[in-house]
Structure 1
Amino acid sequence: MKTFFRLLSFMFLAAAVGVGVLDSIRSVSTYSVDMVSARDAWVQFFPLSLAMAESAIAHYIHPEAWRLVEIGLSVVPAFAVLLGLSLLFWMAGYRRPRALGRFSA
């Protein structure tokens, strides 16, 4: 399980670097800071899951709760969300080294 979490963390890290590179290229070409929001990236790659999340939040929590989630996703850059997910999965797969190495009981 540790290996799976580390692999997932690496994949999110690679995606964050890729999105960051694309954001920087777009920012240089437009002469202004231009970053993809997490909502725009979600719509671009997984449009059906966004609709499912909207209906689930509206049904189980409250119809107005989705508006708050949508505003939050529109403000946060996609690379920051991917970096956060990478950190969470790295922490899930992390195991402290043993004090005496492989000779400890």
Structure 2
Amino acid sequence: MVRFMLRFLSLMALVIAVMAGTIDAIQSVSASEPVLTPLAVAWSTASPDTIALVADGIMRKFPYAWDPAAMWVLSQPAFAVLLALSLFFWVIAYKRRPVAGRFTA
């Protein structure tokens, strides 16, 4: 069940990353220059309440991590962060095949 949820989260992050990348590509073609939307801008556009809730929670529990870590992640392109998150969930949920074959005990 946990593996299924991690794979589902990986799929959802991948779908959102592809959407964000597509939007950036369309804006780049229209502007004739590369346009990369930071995660903070994309997140606040999509759901301003949740970004404020997460920011408040991080600042309350881990105030020393807000400036160096969270601000760096929020300033990165949205599609890249979501692709990395998708890969992270997929790697956690990955199950290796048995070395000896499928019919071994």
- TM category (shorter chain) comes to 0.7 to 0.9
Q: Secondary structure at the match of 2:35?
A: coil
Aligned twin of 1:87: 87
The 4+ residue runs of structure 1 with deviation greater than 3 A are 64-71
Unpaired stretches in structure 1, ≥5 consecutive residues: none
What is the root-mean-square deviation in Å for CA atoms of aligned residues? 1.9
SS of equivalent to 2:9:
helix
Distance 2:94 2:74 in 1: 31
Q: How far off its partner does 1:28 sit? A: 0.6
The one-letter amino acid of 1:71's match is M
- The CA deviation at 1:73 is 3.7
Deviates more, 1:75-84 or 1:43-52: 43-52
User: For 2:70 and 2:98, how far apart are their aligned partners in 1?
Assistant: 43
Q: CA deviation at 1:83?
A: 0.3
What is the aligned partner in structure 2 of residue 26 from structure 1? 27
TM-score by length of 2: 0.84
TM-score between the two structures when normalised by the length of structure 1: 0.84
Structure 2 portions without partners, runs of 5+: none
Give the Å deviation of 1:16.
1.0
1:99 aligned residue: 99
1:11 counterpart letter in structure 2 = M
Report the Cα offset of residue 68 of structure 1.
Answer: 4.0
Equivalent residue letter for 2:14: L
| Cα displacement string for residues 35-61 of structure 1 (whole angstroms, at most 9, x for unaligned residues) | 111101111122112212222232223
Code of the residue aligned with 1:88 in structure 2: it is F
Contact 1:39 1:70 in 2 (8 A): no
How far did 1:79 drift? 0.3
Which region of structure 1 is more displaced relative to structure 2, 18-27 or 40-49? Answer: 40-49
Percent of aligned positions with the same letter in both sequences?
37
Equivalent residue letter for 1:100: A
